[in-house]
Amino acid sequence: MEPVHTNNVLLSCLEKNVTKQASAPAPAPSLSVDLGGLAQRLEDAFLAVRDETERRAAPLSPEDQQIQSMPDASPTKWHRAHTTWFWEQFVLGEHCAGYWPFHPDFAFLFNSYYVSAGPRHSRNHRGDITRPSADQVGAYRKHVDAAVVKFFRDAGEDKLREIAPLVEVGLNHEQQHQELMFTDILHAFAQNPIPPAYDPDWRFPAATPASEDWLTLNEGIHTVGHVDDSFHFDNEKPAHRALVGPVKLARNLVTNREWLAFMRDGGYRTATLWLMDGFAAVNNEGWDCPGHWREIDGQWHVMTLAGLKPVDPDAPVCHVSYYEADAFARWAGKHLPTEMEWEVAARSGQLNDAFGIVWQWTRSSYSPYPGYRAIEGALGEYNGKFMVNQLVLRGSSLATPEGHSRITYRNFFYPHHRWQFTGLRLADYE
């Protein structure tokens, strides 16, 4: 998916340094106003995000950038082009008088799901498009980068203030695709019998050592959702009150060691542990382990960005679907938390590894908060139209770009999806 979206995004948020670490939910250091005017701050933030996209693509060959290993995943080349189209369509096209699109066909090729922005190529066939080449997409990016920078420099303060919230959406949109670039190429590499490494020196982030610690939340009414005007997507508002607790949340993420015990105990073969749709997925997909795992000579390995590695028992389990997380929780005699429980617990600062390793499944349906309305116009399609049949994940993952994490962030995927960096933490009510 290419989730999320916009409303009430404020100028002040552009002062965030978007190039810093992904693991912390707190805003990254602000750029001082003294360092330059609004145009300079916009330009710096824009170029930092655009550079990060290219940095992530750099180790990949044109052949790597072409592949679409399943309909849910997109080619790296497509991500690079689509994020560029987003700037061209929503910023230059709507606000920069005299801008002429780089190529008349690119809007059709690289619009993702914006019905309001016109017809588009089939998502399932993005990998069929060999041209434009990766190099031509690079030229497209350079063209749009130069046009956006020139626009920032020439537009004037009033215009910049008007479009600053839109720019911030563009930055956050591109960061979302940066995460997808990692998850999608990892899925592609995981299909290769000779497993390639995206980066041989990459390491899975270290997790807090395992413990049996639980965080107790007493019954209480809490405000959940985004309360101020710092950057957020529209699905994080309106903030509202919710009854939470009594509940206990595991301080730590579920580990591979625990998952291996579930497997050894016949977890994947025990129908009574599973939702009906989940057990159908197990049988239809032949699941007997998390995604990207391979058993070699009796030892489990997992495909990572550094290639195929032995499963580390102490690392958090990754690449599990909601169906699997739900079955595991039932096997463990526990539950998955709601997104409200997760948010209140995370706000206390007492959850280990809430950010930066794996997104954590909650048992909350991805639904609108009370009173939610999508914004007017094409960008109203960013989040609202996906609010059915998906589950909310909280936190962030090892692939989430620096400066893109928030306690109120609501990620969402379908319950069978497991190619993202997804794991879980347990809840208990006893």
Stretch that binds Fe ion, among 109-117, 272-280, 316-324, 367-375 (CB under 5 A): 109-117
**Would you count residue 88 as binding Fe ion (CB under 5 A)?**
no
Rounded (to 5) percent helix, strand, coil in the chain: 40, 15, 45
* Binding status of residue 235 toward Fe ion by CB under 5 A: no
The sheet carrying 307-310 orders its strands as 293-296, 299-304, 307-310
The count of other CB atoms within 10 Å of the CB of residue 211 is: 10
By beta-carbon proximity to Fe ion, the closer residue of 112 and 400 is 112
Looking at 18-26, 36-44, 110-118, 204-212, which segment touches Fe ion (CB under 5 A)? 110-118
The CB-of-304 to Fe ion minimum distance in angstroms stands at: 25
Triad 303, 67, 52: Cα angle to 5°: 75
| CB atoms near residue 379 (< 10 Å) | 22
- By CB under 5 A, residue 65 contacts Fe ion: no
For residue 361, what is the DSSP state?
Answer: E
Candidates 111-119, 156-164, 201-209, 232-240; binding stretch for Fe ion (CB under 5 A): 111-119
Cα torsion 386, 388, 390, 393 to 10°: value is 70
Compute the least distance from the CB of residue 21 to Fe ion, in Å. Answer: 23
Kindly state whether residue 2 participates in binding Fe ion, applying the rule CB under 5 A.
yes
Given the complex with Fe ion, which of 2 and 258 has the nearer CB atom?
A: 2
- Tell me how far, at minimum, the Cβ of 73 lies from Fe ion, in Å: 14
Residue, CB closest to Fe ion: 2
* Preceding amide of 62 cis, omega within 30: no
Say whether residue 111 binds Fe ion (CB under 5 A). no
- 420 lies in the site for Fe ion, by CB under 5 A: no
Residue 383 CB, nearest distance to Fe ion (Å)? Answer: 11
- Long-range Cβ pairs for the range 376-380 (8 Å, 24+): 377/116, 378/89, 378/90, 378/114, 378/116, 378/117, 379/5, 379/6, 379/90, 379/166, 379/169, 380/116
Q: How far apart are CA 142 and CA 138, in angstroms?
A: 6
Compute the least distance from the CB of residue 78 to Fe ion, in Å.
10
Q: How far is the CB of 2 from Fe ion (least distance, A)?
A: 3
Of the residues 65, 112, 360, 390, which one makes contact with Fe ion according to CB under 5 A:
112
Residues that bind Fe ion (CB under 5 A): 2, 112
